[in-house]
């Protein structure tokens, strides 16, 4: 089973890298980008075949390592 995980900064947490990307896009002539936020993407290849168990496990992995929940949110997709 493949888990796809997105980690993004929480709303209200300043994202200076996202801001820099937004400015760079504007400097390059790409208009109309109102805001850019940078995040991270992970793929985990899992041996587990039970979706519920897999989800529970990945939740724990996200909370304990993959995301820092002080500043980040995470979302999980299972395939």
Partner 1 sequence: MKSAVIVFPGSNCDRDMAVAIEKITGVKPLMVWHQDTDFEAVDFIALPGGFSYGDYLRCGAMSARANVMKEVIKRANDGVPTLGVCNGFQVLTETGLLPGALMRNANLHFVCKDVSLNIANSASMFTSDYSGQSAITIPVAHHDGNYFADAETLDQLEGEGRVAFTYGTDINGSQRGIAGILNAKGTILGMMPHPERMIGSELGGTDGCGLFTSVMNAVS
- Could you list the residues that contact partner 1 (CB under 8 A)? 13-14, 16-17, 20, 65-66, 68, 70-71
Report which DSSP code applies to 8: E
Sequence-ordered list of residues with C-beta below 8 angstroms from that of 54, at least 6 positions apart, any chain: 1, 3, 46, 48, 78
- Alpha-carbon gap, residue 42 to 68, rounded angstroms: 14
Q: Of the two residues 50 and 69, which places its CB atom closer to partner 1 in the complex? A: 69
CB of 23 to partner 1, least distance (A): 11
Q: Of the two residues 16 and 32, which places its CB atom closer to partner 1 in the complex? A: 16
Q: Of the two residues 26 and 51, which places its CB atom closer to partner 1 in the complex? A: 26
């Amino acid at each position: 089973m493949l888990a796809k995980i997105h980690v993004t900064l929480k709303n209200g947490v300043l994202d200076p890298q996202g801001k820099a990307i937004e400015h760079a896009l504007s400097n390059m002539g790409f208009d109309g980008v109102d805001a850019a936020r940078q995040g991270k993407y992970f793929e985990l290849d899992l041996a587990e075949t039970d979706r519920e168990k897999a989800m529970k496990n990945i939740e724990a992995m996200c909370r304990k390592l993959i995301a820092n929940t002080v500043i980040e949110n995470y979302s999980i997709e299972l395939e």
